Amino acid sequence: MTLQALIFDVDGTIADTEEVHRQAFNAAFLAMDLGWNWGEAEYMALLRVSGGPERLAHYISGLRVKPGEKQRLAGLVPAIHREKTRLYYELISDGRAVARPGVARLMNEARAAGVKLALAATSTTANVEALVGAVLDPKALGWFGAVASADEVARKKPAPDLYRRIVGTLRVPADACVAIEDSANGVLAAKAAGLYTIATPSRWTATQDFSQADLVQPSLDEPQLDLARIAALHAARATRAA
């Protein structure tokens, strides 16, 4: 099966945004007088839960507070996340994130070769639009034949819903696509949807289990993964499966 599409995760994959997310969460906690502060180690553990609202709910479920207070805090999750998203947008607009090595190069190679591009994001549509415009190009959203965000599907990663939605929108077979992810949940989602999957862990996800990925390396430039090599790896997998 010939390679027809590259599908990129967003946060952590096209840019190392997790520190910006952590800062935005903490700023939202301060603005709402919650008295919480997520340190790096704690946030790294929380990243095993996909999705900002789900991460907040998981954190609240583990707080040592009375049941009534826990219920009250759980009810605040949508408001907390809206404030966090607003603050994240401000931080990204201020240039707090840059594209990870090799991302723009590979996307441009795909565009030149007629290989379709898509984004499969665990974050919201607003976050995706802010990040892509800031770290790639103000008009970069036009590069992608499909963009699916967590707020558009019933189940988040590791469920395969995002990838199935994208494959359907692109109108290409799943086994003609390659996914690029930075988290274990993302890898599981892509594999469950039938995609060849490359993992480029960030410092936030490096300790996660990437045993299900077809290829794991520190970034798209370590060693350099160009479109021709990805196509060859993808073709080799298809040959073995035949």
Query: Domains along the chain?
Result: 5-16+98-241 (3.40.50.1000), 18-93 (1.10.150.240)
Whether pLDDT at 4 is above 90 = yes
Residue 151 is predicted with a pLDDT of: 83
Q: Do 54 and 48 contact (CB within 8 A), yes or no?
A: no
| Both tokens assigned to 115 | 């290989």
Residue 201 is predicted with a pLDDT of: 96
Whether pLDDT at 138 is above 90 = no
- Could you give the strand order of the β-sheet that contains 177-181, starting from the edge strand earlier in sequence? 146-149, 116-121, 5-9, 177-181, 196-199, 215-216
pLDDT per position as a tens digit, 160-177: 999 999 999 999 999 999
Residue 93 is predicted with a pLDDT of: 85
Residue 211 is predicted with a pLDDT of: 97
Catalytic residues: 9, 11
3-state SS class at 33: coil
Q: What is the pTM of this model?
A: 0.87
* Phi, psi (deg, nearest 5) at residue 38: -90, 115
pLDDT per position as a tens digit, 90-119: 999 888 888 999 999 999 999 999 999 999
Average pLDDT value over all residues in the chain = 94
pLDDT per position as a tens digit, 27-47: 999 999 999 999 999 999 999
| Both tokens assigned to 130 | 């802010």
The band of 242, judged by pLDDT with boundaries at 50, 70 and 90, is: low
